[in-house]
Structure 1
């Protein structure tokens, strides 16, 4: 076991959401309830095999619950806001996006060209966003303008031809039904997309794009805001800059 001094609030929230107690999770993972209590209250990190079993039981990504398990094997975190670094978006479970949005209370921001994988992986995405908006969450979604030069150029670079343009139109169709919901704004943008940004309150997933590589093959930063003027704020400012250039979708 590794020792850290902070409680694991991510694990606490995951257990509460699923109705798990220290005792019930301990039974499901073959551990002692005191060990589970230490995971939550003292931030203790279980052995990798145990952590994976616990994460699967909770329906969570093990590296979201215990980021240090990834960092210990791959790279040293250079920012206190870096929770996890995924080699490619394909490594990020859909539940990471869904759970992040589901726990948002104040803000959800999405900046993409298309990202149709979200609706494909989680057909209830629109229902979830409507639920969050009705609970008072302000939601901003910016998708790529299929007719813009930058979107068309991205298609050439990724060797998709017209694929990216059609995916932008499909994304717009997915999100268009949300316009009738107060608190949800939908816009299209024509900017060069250096990063896709998925933000929910103080959590953010940033898909950093690579030339000639589809977004699913590019790395993803999981950030959590812990200070002023850090990485999180930098990407938030980038989102806001694009949002100001974007056009509201009519109808």
Structure 2
């Protein structure tokens, strides 16, 4: 499988491109601020044709370029139903500091939502671009945050974790749509049960694995210990 990444020009957001191989259809995940031109070059270089744009959640740093990317290729944006409203106005609810940071990065210009938006719900299975993508609703960072799990025959699954899980950390819950208790439930019920070999591509920062995070991520270590204590009591 071909897996490529681009880092946005603001907030260090990771945009991913996945395809069975060069010269085929692909999916684009979380096109953030300033990635459109570099994404177009990457697609040309690998002779890829986007079949869909997948969004792990609706915060502006993950969706900023979704409309031009979808429009350029005539494809839909796919987002969880609970974050659909964010594509109407991703700036809604942002405080003055975040707005100022976006303005300074050039990411707070005029917004237009994609012409074609497809909503998904928990446990949906997408067959797109020759890939099988399973959707797991994992609220906490936003109401509609999801994990996209991509099956790779003969290899560990690939988890597109958005802002749920990072290498050594987890997503913030103090932004619009955040809920710390919901985040803990998502980590406990949607992340910790995953196979250790699962490769994780987070929304920010370097790639990791579930096994590595289970052993070293302080949030998962603490959560697993608390769950084990409850089971013994």
Same fold (TM over 0.5): no
Using the size of structure 2 for normalisation, the TM-score is 0.30
Considering only CA atoms, is the larger Rg found in Structure 1 or Structure 2? 1
- The structure with the greater share of residues assigned to strand is 2
Report 1 or 2 for greater relative contact order, CA contacts < 8 Å, sequence distance ≥ 6: 1
- The structure with the greater share of residues assigned to helix is 1
Using the size of structure 1 for normalisation, the TM-score is 0.28
